Structure 1
Amino acid sequence: MKNASQGFLLAWQFFSFVPIKKQFDMNKSSITWMYASLPLIGLAIGSLLSGGAYVLMSYSDISDLLLSILLVVGMVIFTGGLHLDGFIDMCDAFFSYGDKEKRLQVLDDPRTGAFGVLGIVSLLLLKLGFVYEALVQGQLAMLVYIVMIPYIARIGMLVYFVTMNTSKQTGLAAYFKAQVVTKQLVIYSAVLFTLLSAALLYTGIYSFFILVAVMFAVVVVYRKWSYRNFGGMSGDLLGALGEILEVMLWLTALLCI
C-alpha cells in the first residue's frame, strides 16, 4: 500500500500542477503505480471542473461562452500546461520536415518555433469551440463529459505508453519505461478501468462506449504515426497525445449530445 499511495502522489507531482513538495522513493513499484494512477488524476481533474461548472451554472448568470473559456483555461491550469508543452514541441518537430534524427533534435529543443505557436492556437480554439457547442446543446450532459473525457484521454495515454518503444534510450520517458513493471501496470490499470467504467455504466451513460472506441482508434493511428515520423515514443509525444485525445473526444461528445 505504501508504494501505491506514493505512486498516486507521484502521479500528481508529474502530471498536474498540484505542488506536492515531498521526496518519494522512486522504485519500480511506485513508478508502476504512478502510471496506473494516471486515469485517476484525469478523473479527479474532470470532477473538479465539472463541480465548478455546476456551481457557476446554478448560482450565476454566466454565459455559455465565458463558462467554456473558463473550462478550457481550467484544463490548462490543472495540468500545469505539461501536455500542451509536449504538443508544442511535437508540432515544431513534425513540421521541421527533417528526417527522424532531425525531428528528435527539434523535439528536445526547449525553444518554441512558429509551428508550435500555430499548433497550440489551433488546438485551443478547436477545444474551445467543441466545448462551447457541447455546452449549448446540453448542459447536464456536458457535466458528465467534463468528468469522462480527461479520464478516457489518460487511459489512451497509458495504452500508448505501455505498447510503444521509446524513440531513444535516454531521457525521462526511456527511464520510466525501463522502470515500469509492464505486467503489473496492465493488471492494475485493468482493475481500475473496470471498476470506474462499471460505475459510469451503472448510471446509464452508454456514450461511454463510443468515447472509448474513438480513444482506441486515435491511439492506433497515433502509434503508427509516431513510429513513422519519430521512431517511437517520447515524453513530449505522450503529452501531445493527451491533448489530441481530448479534442477528438470533445468532438465525439458534441456529436453524441
Structure 2
Amino acid sequence: MLIQSFVIAFAMYSSLPMPRVEWSRENMQYAMCFFPFIGVVIGAGIALWRFACSLLGLSQILFAVGAVLLPVLVTGGIHLDGFCDTVDALSSHQTREKKLKILKDPHTGAFAIIGLCCLFLILFALWQELDSNWSTLSVLGIGFVLSRCLSGFAVAAFPLAKDTGLVHTFASMSAKKRVRLWLAVFAVLCTTGMIVVSPLEGGICAGASLLCFGWYYWMAKRQFGGITGDLAGYFLQICECSQLLAVLFVQKLF
C-alpha cells in the first residue's frame, strides 16, 4: 500500500517514469505523504548540477539557468500550470465564482504569460546573484522538501474551494489525520535541518516559507473560498521563490 502511494505521488507530481498501479482509495490514502520526496530529487539534482558546473568550469549564469529549469524538468511543469491559471484568475478582479471558472479554463491568458515570464526572470536573477556554496544549496535543497510538506499539509487540512478536481480527489482519498501528522513532523524535521546546516540562512528561509503558508491560507479563503490544485501549484512557486529571496537577503545583509 505504501509503495503504491509512493508510485502515485511520483506519477502525479513528477515526470519520472513510474510503474502502473491502480488509483484506488486504499492506494491513494498516503500519496501526499510521499509528495515531499520529489523535493529531495530536485534538491539533489541542483546539487549535482552545481558540482558539474564546478568540475567543468561553467559560469554562474549557466548554473542559474540549470537551477531554474531543473525543477520544471523533474515536475513536468505541473505546478507552473497552476501558477499560470491562478495569475489569470487573480488578475481578472472578478467575483469568486468567475475566478473559479477561469481556473478551469484550459486557455492561457495574457496575464499568465506575463506572470510566468516575470517568475522565470526573478528566479534566474536570484540564482545568478546567489553565492551557491554547499551550505546554501543544502538549505535550499531542503526548502524544496519543506514547500511540498506545507503544500501537502494544506491539501489535508485547508477548506476546498470546490468538490471536484485533483485536490478534491487526493483530499477525499487521503487518511487525513495521519497525512497531516506525518507532513507536520516532516516539516519540523526540514526546518530543524535547515537551521542546523546554516542557522541564519536556514532560519530566515524557513520563516519565509511559513509566512507564505499563512498568506496562502488567507488568500485562498478570501479570493476563492478555499484551495484548489491550481492554487497549490501557485503557492509552491511563490514559496520557493520567497526561499531564494530570503537566503539572498541574508547573504547580502549579514
Do Structure 1 and Structure 2 share a fold, with TM-score over 0.5? yes
List per-residue Cα deviations over 1:194-244 (Å, max 9, x = no partner): 555555555x43233322221111111121111111111100000111001
Q: Which residue of 1 aligns with 2:7?
A: 9
Q: How far, CA to CA, are the matches of 1:146 and 1:87 in structure 2?
A: 20
Partner Cα distance (2:104, 2:119) in 1: 21
Task: Sort the Cα spacing of 1:24 and 1:192 in 2 relative to 1 into closer, same or farther, 3 A.
Answer: farther
**Which amino acid counterpart does residue 174 of structure 1 have in structure 2?**
H
Say if 2:126 is the partner of 1:130. Answer: yes
* Kept in 1: contact 2:161–2:228 (CA 8 A): yes
**Counterpart residue identity of residue 242, structure 1:** L
Contact persistence 1:50–1:146 (CA under 8 A): no
Question: Where does residue 163 of structure 1 map in the other structure?
Answer: 157
Matches within 5 A, 1:88-167: 88-134=84-130, 137-167=131-161
**Structure 2 residue aligned with 1:73:** 69
Partner of 1:49: 46
Give how far 1:167 is off. Answer: 0.7
TM-score, length basis structure 2: 0.91
CA–CA distance in 2 between the matches of 1:205 and 1:10? Answer: 34
Distance 2:184 2:93 in 1: 38
Partners of 2:126 and 2:248 within 8 A in 1: yes
What are the ranges of 5 or more consecutive residues in structure 1 without an aligned counterpart?
none
The residue correspondences of 1:224-235 to structure 2 (distance < 5 A) are 224-235=218-229
Is the 2:30–2:175 contact (alpha carbons within 8 Å) kept by the matching residues of 1?
no
Q: Determine helix, strand or coil for the equivalent of 2:160.
A: coil
Question: Could you list the per-position Cα deviations for residues 75-109 of structure 1 after superposition, in whole angstroms to 9, with x for gaps in the alignment?
Answer: 11111000000000001111112101111111100
Q: How many residues align?
A: 250
Q: Please provide the CA RMSD for this pair.
A: 1.8
Q: Distance in 1 between matches of 2:60 and 2:124?
A: 11
Which amino acid in structure 2 is aligned with residue 45 of structure 1? I
Q: Secondary structure at the match of 1:20?
A: coil
After TM superposition, the runs of 4+ consecutive aligned structure 1 residues lying more than 3 A away are 190-202
Once the two structures are superposed, residues 49-95 of structure 1 have per-residue CA deviations (whole angstroms, 9 ceiling, x without a partner) of 212221221x1121101110111011111110000000000011111
Aligned residue number for residue 214 of structure 2: 220
**Residues 192 and 228 (structure 1), Cα distance of their counterparts in 2 relative to 1, 3 Å cut:** closer
Gaps of 5+ in 2: none
What residue number does 2:35 align with?
A: 38
Q: Percent identity over the alignment?
A: 26
How far 1:187 moved relative to its partner?
A: 2.4
